[in-house]
Amino acid sequence: MPITTPRRSRQALWAVALVLALAAIAVAATLGRAAWERDRAASARAEALAAGRQLAVNFVTLDATTFDADTARVVDGATGEFKEQYEQALTELKPVVQSNKTVSTVERAEAAYVSGDDDSAVVLVGLVAPTTNTSATEPEKKTYRIRLDLAKVGDAWKVSTLDFVS
């Protein structure tokens, strides 16, 4: 029967302690990374949801007296094909809005995150928008449901597609 010396026992004990410490570090790193990824994903969802809500509000908010500023906010929050289409439509929209003295504000906006990842998201926004014009001097409450496809451009979420849904 081999005889163990105190020195070998200490070395074995240190080896076991080292293995246990490395295992604890590996578990902590794995759990920490998973928590970090969950937090990052939740943060991205919250940012996309807030951006989608605001972009929809910007799209519906329109005043004949501040037309250029109102539409500039939409253009600033747009990208791709939607931005091109919106900019092209402005030349026809401006005279109609100004001659009708249209004013559309948002009374209520509710948003829901549908899906997404780090670079894209889909958000649904429901809006109640009291609207007046030359033929409706009392505000008529219009309701909209808008589906926004968002794309991350730099640090900002921008609308790449905007569709009205029923």
CATH of the domain at 87: 3.10.450.540
User: Is 55 a domain residue?
Assistant: yes
Residue 74 within a domain: yes
Look at residue 155 and tell me if it is in a domain.
Answer: yes
pLDDT tens sequence across 47-63: 999 999 999 999 999 99
* 106 in Cβ contact with 127 (< 8 Å): yes
The number of domains in the chain is 1
39 falls within a domain: no
Handedness of CA 43, 45, 119, 146 (dihedral sign): negative
Amino acid at 81: E
Residues 6+ apart with CB under 8 A from 98: 64, 67
Give a yes or no: residue 2 inside a domain.
no
CB-based contact 134:101 (threshold 8 Å): yes
Cα-trace Rg, the chain: 28
What type of residue sits at position 54?
A: Q
pLDDT by residue (tens digit) across 77-89? 999 999 999 999 9
Residues 6+ apart with CB under 8 A from 80: 151, 160, 161
In the predicted model, is pLDDT for residue 38 greater than 80? no
Predicted local confidence at residue 3, as pLDDT: 57
Per the domain annotation, does 158 fall within a domain? yes
Mean of pLDDT values over 61-66: 96
123-161: per-residue pLDDT in tens?
Answer: 999 999 999 999 988 999 999 999 999 999 999 999 999
For the stretch 112-124, pLDDT in tens is 999 999 899 999 9
Q: Is 16 inside a domain boundary?
A: no
Range of the domain at 124: 44-164
9 lies in some domain:
no
- Please report the pLDDT score of residue 1 as a whole number: 58
Instruction: Output the pLDDT for position 2.
Output: 62
